[in-house]
Structure formats: structure tokens, C-alpha cells
Amino acid sequence: MKDYQKLIISVLIPLAVGFVGSFFTSDAIGNWYAGLEKPSFNPPSWLFAPAWTILYILIGISFYIVWKEGLEDLKNKNIVIGVYSVQLFLNLLWSILFFGLRNPLWALIEIIVLWFVILLNIVVFYRVRKEAGILLVPYLLWVSFASILNYYIFILN
């Protein structure tokens, strides 16, 4: 497969996860989320979509680097793909728990697990290629911030 095809597939996968997650988010933003007490440092709602789009693209490029490096030849290929897949699933699950089920407590518990899986993903990708791991650091930082927001929203409501 040509490299540009791998790049497109790699970027489309996390964007698709985000797109699916938006089905749970979009309805809740205007009514349920708007009515919640939020901390003073809560960013405006319009910021989340572009931030997540950039992060999903970085996640995809990170996977592309690993794939291009020779994913098929890695002895720990199943671990690399498994950790990556689990973090994408957990990313989607958070949207379902927080916005779909409107349950900040379960979302808070889940986002803590997500944070550790992202950290593991960084380590696993870094071992394959340093740049792939580094590209996931903004994702970890954003999820760290989202975890704090989730905590405060749970406490305030």
C-alpha cells in the first residue's frame, strides 16, 4: 500500500471515532451541558470541535508513523495495535458516558483509565519511533485538562 493511502487511512480512523462521538455530544451541548455549573476556566464550547479535530489528526499521523515504520514486522504488533485501539475506544466511550448518558461520575472514572491508556500508547509508540510517541503528548495534555474539567463539573453538579 502506498504511503499516502496509509496516511489517509490512519487519519480517517480517529476522525471517524470523533465523528461517532459527536452524535452523543451535539444534542447534549445545547441543552444539558449548557445548563451545568462549570468552573471559571471552562473554555467556550466552540473551542472543543477544532481542538479535538487537531488532536485526532495528530493521533492519526502518530499511527501512520508507526504503520510506515513497518507495523507488520513488529514482534509486538498485537500490543501496539491493541493499545491504540483501546485508547480510541475509551475516547469514544467517554463521550457516550458524559454526554450520551449524562453521567459525569462514570465519565470521570473512565477518563482516568483513558489517561493511563494514552500514556501507555505514548510509551508503546515511542518505542517504535520517537516522533510517534511525541505526537500523542498534546492529546495527553488535553485529556488531562478535560479530566480536571470533568472533575469540577461532577463536583459542581
Convert the pLDDT of each residue in 27-44 to its tens digit. Answer: 898 899 999 999 999 999
Which residue has 472543543 as its cell numbers?
48
Distances (CA, A) of 46 to 49, 105, 116: 6, 24, 27
Q: Are 156 and 37 in contact (CB under 8 A)?
A: yes
Q: Which residues neighbour 8 within 8 Å (Cβ) at sequence distance 6 or greater?
A: none
Closest C-alpha among 102, 123, 103, 115 to residue 146? 115
What type of residue sits at position 89?
Answer: F
pLDDT tier at 75, thresholds 50, 70, 90: confident
Q: Are 102 and 36 in contact (CB under 8 A)?
A: no
Q: Are 132 and 74 in contact (CB under 8 A)?
A: no
All three cell numbers of 126, joined, read 515511542
Interval 131-147 mean pLDDT: 98
Interval 122-136 mean pLDDT: 96
pLDDT at 70: 77
Domains and CATH numbers, the chain: 3-156 (1.20.1260.100)
Convert the pLDDT of each residue in 8-25 to its tens digit. Answer: 999 999 999 999 999 999
- Global confidence as pTM: 0.95
Q: Which residues neighbour 14 within 8 Å (Cβ) at sequence distance 6 or greater?
A: 56, 57, 59, 60, 63, 88, 91
Q: Are 151 and 37 in contact (CB under 8 A)?
A: no
